[in-house]
Structure 1
Amino acid sequence: MNHTDLTLRPITGPEELDLFCQLTYALDHELADDLAAGRRRPGWMWVALRGGELVARAAWWGRAEEPVPFLLDVFDVEDAAVGARLVRTAMAEILPPGTRPPTYNRMIPAEWRDEAAARSVVEDRMTALEQVGAQLLAERLRFEWRPGTAVAPPRNRLLFRPIRDVDEILELMTRVLDGTLDAHSRDDLTRMSAREAALRHYEDELAHYRSPRDWWRVATLPDGTPVGFVTPARNNYNPVIGYLAVLPEHRGNGYIDDILAEGTRILAAQDVSRIRAATDLGNIPMANAFRRAGYVNFERTITMAWP
């Protein structure tokens, strides 16, 4: 599609990755493997060319077995208006009519507001996506635990056992949504019941982990009463603390530290090179727990979503 001398189109295949990567981002090194594995497709990777020069690009990520992408996670622009036009044009081709667009995630420096160049990168992309209807959903802190960091020993206040089955984890995930500080969950609760939101989270994320489910733990009091849970896991890219939560009636007792330490111990025992985790900027209790456990806030993400 042409607008004056602007051409908007998907790439033809892996042979155009060099063209696509004329603009750069931290995920570029994953693109070839993602294409080979079906997590990306040429039709989900679009470029805006002016006179043969790349001036904007956008790429969506999804699962090989699903026909519609799950996330917009590569978006680079030299001009916000061109970027908005590119995303609007691509989504009209990629998404079935009436489909809510996938959310947008952008990894950004931890102190991005303090650096003029980094701030411009973030705000230019946000401006472009606002022109096609997206709104800021959350700013998230990305944490990393590194080998050599001390792991707190068990304090014996809580016992830990494996999750019994999917029904149990779904029940716990439903219960912890009461009073949640997570922006994604709060957004889901405006559209569906707590049980539906828990099931969606499970099917979109936990069900796709590549690691054994017997790593997952329920935290209980000595009498067996559940207090919370943690799902240490491996996703397609890293070992992660996938989901950690304390049940509403047990919040405020510091159990979050015990549960995070258990999840960290399980992954550290696998001789991992790092453990990744994330939480919303506004989820101060969770962010502070990561810091107390020796996790480093090395980056942030911006998430935008369509109403």
Structure 2
Amino acid sequence: MIIRTLTDADADVDRVLPLLPAGRIGVWADADAFRARLATGEYRPEWTWLAEHEDGGEPCALATWWGGPDDPLPAALDVLNVRDAEDSGAPDDAPGPADPRAPEDRRDTEAGDDSRTVLAVRLLTAAHSAFAEAGLDSPPDYHVLLPGDWRERSEAVAALGWRREAARRAGLTASLERLRFEWTPETGVPRPSGRLRFRAEPDDEVFVDLFRRVLEGTLDAGSRSGAAALGAERQARKDVAFYRDEMPGDRAWWRIAETPRGRPVGLALPSRNTSVHVVGYLGVLPEHRGRGYADDLLAETTRFLAEEAGADVVRADTDLANTPMAAAFARLGYRNFARRLVLSAP
């Protein structure tokens, strides 16, 4: 078995397209999206790994990492797929008809191991080693898009199962489930309650201070773990740098929420990624929580993106455990259309 990157992009792309079926769990990009992101630099040949038999034939496994067009290293794993019965139209939980590995590769298999898992582990491990040599401190997270009711769908459970096990064996042992929300104009643009006023603020240090204060008691798992590891001040500066430098949204869109007397209540960062407009970040200061201000911040963010940034879709994620924020999205007309499982190194 040969594990390698796309060495000849023009020739290899057509060969890996069958491993990019539209709508498949574990596959963010279909064939058209794959080609488009190669063109923008979000996917790159050196971030796309495949497994193939030494005697040629179609690739039997594919892993594709994503990064921003200017990123020197990848940020997330988008695609992990292994050719088997699922790519010939059989259910995702059907047993693979043929072991895709060479005989010498099968000796590493424990009794009952899914051959897809073993091959995927080899693919991920090779890529992770290459990324580490290139300077990445830890392997990129694996983001798996799931239907909202995935636990009740046997095919979804099966499709996730071997991928999740492969990620675990490759070092991505921590998991976080997030709810995905979407707003569209048919819902109506939220109107301000009048309780708060919003203003732009060009000074990054003001936002650093607000980010730092919002971290106290936050229900966001990523922010909480980051602050525990780095300290609140460093995490706040990291957050500001991320939204300012790595998100395509305009820095001028950021808003501070204040009472009519000018007391800060929180911050709202309307933004966008490379595909759609997003609710970048919302935060209410600890002393103002419990008064429903998250609704005001979300309403202003949605209004701004719809009326001033020209958004026809606004998306947002929040942790499954962050029930107050999920409730705010529902009240403001956002639809919970999917879930995102983030598998990461601890």
TM class by shorter chain equals over 0.9
Deviation at residue 7 of structure 1 after TM alignment: 1.9
Over aligned residues, Cα RMSD in angstroms? 1.8
SS in 1 for 2:186: coil
Deviates more, 1:156-165 or 1:10-19: 10-19
CA spacing shift, 1:15–1:203, aligned 2, 3 Å:
farther
Q: Distance in 1 between matches of 2:254 and 2:127?
A: 39
Match status 1:9 vs 2:4: yes
* 1:253 equivalent among 267, 270, 291: 291
Partner of 2:126: 89
Write the letter of the residue equivalent to 2:128. Answer: M
Q: Distance in 1 between matches of 2:14 and 2:338?
A: 26
SS in 1 for 2:19: coil
SS in 2 for 1:21: helix
Deviation at residue 98 of structure 1 after TM alignment: 7.4
Counting only pairs closer than 5 Å after superposition, residues 1-307 of structure 1 correspond to structure 2 as 6-12=1-7, 13-24=9-20, 25-28=27-30, 29-50=32-53, 52-77=57-82, 79-96=116-133, 99-269=137-307, 270-307=309-346
Q: Deviations over 1:171-204 (max 9, x none)?
A: 1111111111112112212321112112223333
Conserved? CA contact 1:240–1:275, under 8 Å: yes
Conserved? CA contact 2:191–2:299, under 8 Å: yes
Write the letter of the residue equivalent to 1:49. Answer: E
| Structure with greater proportional strand content | 1
Q: Deviations over 1:202-254 (max 9, x none)?
A: 33344233333222211111111111111112221101111011111111110
Q: Deviations over 1:268-290 (max 9, x none)?
A: 11432211111010110111100
Structure 2 residue runs of 5 or longer lacking an equivalent are: 21-26, 85-115
CA spacing shift, 1:181–1:273, aligned 2, 3 Å:
same
Conserved? CA contact 1:11–1:42, under 8 Å: yes
Deviates more, 1:247-256 or 1:192-201: 192-201
Write the letter of the residue equivalent to 1:63. Answer: G
Write the letter of the residue equivalent to 1:37. Answer: T
Write the letter of the residue equivalent to 2:121. Answer: A
Q: Distance in 2 between matches of 1:220 and 1:112?
A: 40
Deviates more, 1:138-147 or 1:67-76: 67-76
SS in 2 for 1:73: strand
CA spacing shift, 1:203–1:213, aligned 2, 3 Å:
closer
CA spacing shift, 1:193–1:253, aligned 2, 3 Å:
same
SS in 2 for 1:241: strand
Write the letter of the residue equivalent to 1:8. Answer: I
Partner of 1:3: none
Q: Distance in 1 between matches of 2:321 and 2:303?
A: 26
Write the letter of the residue equivalent to 1:264. Answer: T
Q: How many residues align?
A: 302
Deviates more, 1:164-173 or 1:199-208: 199-208
Conserved? CA contact 1:139–1:281, under 8 Å: yes
Conserved? CA contact 2:148–2:338, under 8 Å: yes
Conserved? CA contact 2:16–2:58, under 8 Å: no
Conserved? CA contact 1:137–1:184, under 8 Å: no
TM-score, length-scaled by structure 1: 0.92
Conserved? CA contact 2:171–2:345, under 8 Å: yes
SS in 2 for 1:258: helix
SS in 1 for 2:212: helix
Which structure is larger by alpha-carbon Rg, 1 or 2? 2
Q: Distance in 2 between matches of 1:105 and 1:163?
A: 33
CA spacing shift, 1:26–1:92, aligned 2, 3 Å:
closer
Write the letter of the residue equivalent to 1:26. Answer: W
SS in 2 for 1:244: strand
Conserved? CA contact 1:68–1:95, under 8 Å: no
Q: Distance in 2 between matches of 1:175 and 1:21?
A: 47
CA spacing shift, 1:42–1:215, aligned 2, 3 Å:
same
Conserved? CA contact 1:136–1:305, under 8 Å: yes
Q: Distance in 1 between matches of 2:230 and 2:322?
A: 22
